[in-house]
Chains A and B, each alone.
Chain A
């Protein structure tokens, strides 16, 4: 991608991930001269579509979309730049006994499906959905705003704290209790308050561990589940879908939107260091030695990479740096991208059921998911992993040749550091084989259909995307790292300890997922500071 090659900008954004691009779009639309610098030769960060096998497009990292805020899609005119999100048509967990639990879009079909496993749970599911929607309603107004600093007496903070307090009190007494419990409890405890059937609990628990170094029995995991529920597609809260053309369609649309409003992007331009003079960021130095100056420097990198690798320690307060080092950002996920010669058979799913046209899983009890986590704690990849596996090409006709399919397999858990020494190519292959074998137990022809498989441990995710330890959320989504404590207490308002420098990645409020809210909120903070609102 080209740029005018000028050497002075109003704002430089480091990293062309979705949040960096969202941030740059808002700044450019406010009239700033913006330059986005990307280390890779392509934009997108963890929202990319890549052709790593002839004729096949992979959603290489993130693979499905729900959280991307509608406000952002509209404000940045992403549909005009080619973005289309298509909802799942089903979902399922394949069970070891040959049975399955399917998720159907139709309310009555879903009720009858759950009732096959437990009539009680079919009805409890409605209560569960109601409560999740109530939690979503609570959190939604908090997503697109800067978290207030509870220790501050600035009018804006007091106003925002009052908003938060009023919003919380607006829940009513019973729901205030529920909300506090919810944010701290484990997913398993939460699900057990509703359901009796193991398979129903196991299926729902998946969302509580994705990208997270927690198990379903770890306190705080219930919130992670909610984090995956609070998105929507066209008003359907909790719905997930495919970006047509792969997740790169989101960042391609953002890049086009940015360029249409005069922003510039330079790929293959790794930043060596943020320049700081007299406590103020003045620009960046590229690895090539080139210097570019700007009034504002924004980092889309995670908080560790930003402050431990791109800003000289001498410019930062030691206590701040200490907290940055202690920020929880643990690698726990792997990913397989598989090119398939045809659609694999899943004998557990009856003919005509759309259960394979969405997210498929193979862990059928909470116990099994928790055991998968135990392996991670011991420094091993899970011997019986949780997978979030999808074949988007059943719905998206653009990603593979006719008759061929692409399968995205997200794997939980896979450690960044193995107990028995460093990752090697052989260990990576063995990790991949573990996952493929686990899937093949539910699909007799799966292995024969594999044309190519890209196997990614947290190491590969870190190497390509730059996410520390390959943590997909740029930091754990636990209560101690949320809201005004994200990423660090006192630094939740997108501003770095260096004047003129900002953070806009998922390390900041409201956290990870392809949501765009951190980028948008950071832009609002920057524009406020520049007096441009």
Chain B
């Protein structure tokens, strides 16, 4: 049940099933396009929304995530050829974070694969992939169907998220382990029971869940969660607060930290999973997969550059900063793709692509930052140290059952 809207030539962006509720909660009326939908950038205050994620619980509408239903006798073979990771042990009820590459071993996109049943999977990803999935499916008995508009999705993330879902009536949710999913029934006095799929996944690096709903259930679920949660600091959050959390968690954002090899125009701007620090997702032992030969060759010669986490001196986020080998800022060795001040770590964080000589933890590079002092711009070259990622990884993200509040 998508919200009725004007035709596409009058209103190009779709509205998610949470749109009306989001409008009610939005104080700033700040909506931005995301994957063909209109979504909230910030509801009230980025800081307050950020702390909902790290202190209590947050609701984030991720309906625009593109979803595919992949089924057929070859579904597993197809997926295992598509992605770099070995999915053969991914049983029903499990979720895996995956990336996939073109023939040259360059990253096309990342996403999550849900094993629904022996011959049925769901692929969730940031960008539309049907063209590539279909090309990859030739020779496999597999059916691929985009189901983005059939499913509403809501991320419930934060240290109190398990408690919140329990209070909302999702009995048994405390037993769900990281990267598991299951069917749950939301039972509330005075409401029809609603069945929904919940996965213990997320983009915050914190304790958290993602709810996959029938669009018709979107508003009631939203209402129940906020009725229960809003007295206890739960609030809907926009993409700007989420972006701070995902940088702390060290997650990559497509079109920010990498451009899909399916979209690059310039030669050499595509990135391989090895360069992006995602080598742990590449399983050379599982048999053939798309891009394997190129990745193997790259692994043998070593990537020329790599994505690293930086801790930057000072408190000014190093947005888009060029990185240099020393303070004189004469030789460029990389650039920053994402940056934020981290209120939880009290560190000035950045994700950056740097030359191979600067990738090990403890290396130092120098970031060129421009400071706006009441419209008087000043240039600073500040020290940035390569540090471990994720920057923030609380134990609660893994504990089962999670602490209750």
Quick check: is B373 within 8 A (CB to CB) of the other chain?
no
- Contact partner of A119 (CB less than 8 A), chosen from B12, B33, B146, B264, is B146
Quick check: is A134 within 8 A (CB to CB) of the other chain?
yes
Query: What 0/1 readout, one digit per residue, does chain B (102-123) give for beta carbons within 8 Å of chain A?
Result: 0010000000000000000000
The reply to whether B262 and A127 contact each other, CB–CB distance below 8 Å, is yes
Quick check: is A287 within 8 A (CB to CB) of the other chain?
no
The reply to whether B33 and A108 contact each other, CB–CB distance below 8 Å, is yes
**Residues of A97-124 whose CB lies within 8 A of B:** 102, 104, 106-109, 111-113, 119-120, 122-124
A-B contact count (CB 8 A): 60
Quick check: is B89 within 8 A (CB to CB) of the other chain?
no
Residues of A within 8 A of B267 (CB): 170-172, 175
The chain A residue sitting closest to B35, CB to CB, is A108
**Residues of B101-157 whose CB lies within 8 A of A:** 104, 128-131, 134, 146
Quick check: is B8 within 8 A (CB to CB) of the other chain?
yes
Residues of A within 8 A of B131 (CB): 120, 123-124, 126-127
The reply to whether A350 and B130 contact each other, CB–CB distance below 8 Å, is no
The reply to whether B134 and A108 contact each other, CB–CB distance below 8 Å, is no
The prevalent SS among residues of A at the interface is: helix
The reply to whether A102 and B9 contact each other, CB–CB distance below 8 Å, is yes
Q: How far is the CA of A122 from the CA of B33 in the complex (A)?
A: 18
Offer 10 A-B interface pairs, CB within 8 angstroms, sorted by A.
A108-B13, A109-B12, A112-B12, A113-B8, A119-B130, A126-B131, A170-B267, A172-B267, A175-B267, A350-B9
Quick check: is A133 within 8 A (CB to CB) of the other chain?
yes
The reply to whether B36 and A111 contact each other, CB–CB distance below 8 Å, is yes
Residues of A within 8 A of B264 (CB): 130
Quick check: is A34 within 8 A (CB to CB) of the other chain?
no
The chain A residue sitting closest to B264, CB to CB, is A130
Quick check: is A137 within 8 A (CB to CB) of the other chain?
yes
Q: Which residues of B are at the interface with A, using a C-beta cutoff of 8 A?
A: 7-10, 12-14, 33, 36, 104, 128-131, 134, 146, 262-267
The reply to whether B265 and A355 contact each other, CB–CB distance below 8 Å, is no
Please provide the 6 A-B residue pairs with the shortest distance between their CB atoms, ordered closest to farther.
A109-B12, A108-B12, A112-B8, A123-B131, A106-B12, A353-B9
Q: B106 → chain A, closest Cβ, in Å?
A: 11
Q: How far is the CA of A198 from the CA of B253 in the complex (A)?
A: 36
The reply to whether A109 and B265 contact each other, CB–CB distance below 8 Å, is no
- Contact partner of B130 (CB less than 8 A), chosen from A106, A113, A123, A353, is A123
Residues of B within 8 A of A489 (CB): none
Q: B100 → chain A, closest Cβ, in Å?
A: 15
Q: How far is the CA of A119 from the CA of B134 in the complex (A)?
A: 12
The chain A residue sitting closest to B33, CB to CB, is A108
- Contact partner of A120 (CB less than 8 A), chosen from B33, B130, B265, is B130
Q: B159 → chain A, closest Cβ, in Å?
A: 36
Quick check: is A352 within 8 A (CB to CB) of the other chain?
yes
Quick check: is A426 within 8 A (CB to CB) of the other chain?
no
- Contact partner of A174 (CB less than 8 A), chosen from B104, B129, B262, is B104
Q: B85 → chain A, closest Cβ, in Å?
A: 24
Q: Which residues of A are at the interface with B, using a C-beta cutoff of 8 A?
A: 102, 104, 106-109, 111-113, 119-120, 122-124, 126-127, 130, 133-134, 137, 170-172, 174-175, 350, 352-355
Q: B2 → chain A, closest Cβ, in Å?
A: 12
Residues of A within 8 A of B14 (CB): 108
Q: A344 → chain B, closest Cβ, in Å?
A: 19
The reply to whether A137 and B130 contact each other, CB–CB distance below 8 Å, is no
Other contacts beyond A112-B12, A113-B9, A124-B131: 7, CB < 8 A: A104-B9, A123-B129, A130-B264, A130-B265, A171-B267, A174-B104, A353-B9
The reply to whether B265 and A104 contact each other, CB–CB distance below 8 Å, is no
The reply to whether A352 and B265 contact each other, CB–CB distance below 8 Å, is no
Q: B196 → chain A, closest Cβ, in Å?
A: 26
The reply to whether B130 and A354 contact each other, CB–CB distance below 8 Å, is no
Q: B135 → chain A, closest Cβ, in Å?
A: 9
Q: A193 → chain B, closest Cβ, in Å?
A: 11
Q: How far is the CA of A122 from the CA of B10 in the complex (A)?
A: 18
Q: How far is the CA of A451 from the CA of B262 in the complex (A)?
A: 50
Residues of B within 8 A of A127 (CB): 131, 262
The chain B residue sitting closest to A133, CB to CB, is B265
Residues of A within 8 A of B128 (CB): 122-123, 126
Q: How far is the CA of A134 from the CA of B266 in the complex (A)?
A: 7
- The verdict on A108 contacting B262 (CB below 8 Å), with A120-B134, A175-B267 known, is no
Q: How far is the CA of A171 from the CA of B262 in the complex (A)?
A: 16
The reply to whether A352 and B130 contact each other, CB–CB distance below 8 Å, is no
Q: B3 → chain A, closest Cβ, in Å?
A: 15
- The verdict on A109 contacting B130 (CB below 8 Å), with A126-B263, A130-B262, A134-B265 known, is no
Residues of B within 8 A of A113 (CB): 8-9
Q: B7 → chain A, closest Cβ, in Å?
A: 7
Q: How far is the CA of A174 from the CA of B264 in the complex (A)?
A: 14
Q: A27 → chain B, closest Cβ, in Å?
A: 36
Q: How far is the CA of A262 from the CA of B257 in the complex (A)?
A: 54
Q: How far is the CA of A127 from the CA of B146 in the complex (A)?
A: 18
The chain A residue sitting closest to B11, CB to CB, is A109
Residues of B within 8 A of A126 (CB): 128, 131, 262-263
The reply to whether B36 and A137 contact each other, CB–CB distance below 8 Å, is no
Q: A296 → chain B, closest Cβ, in Å?
A: 40
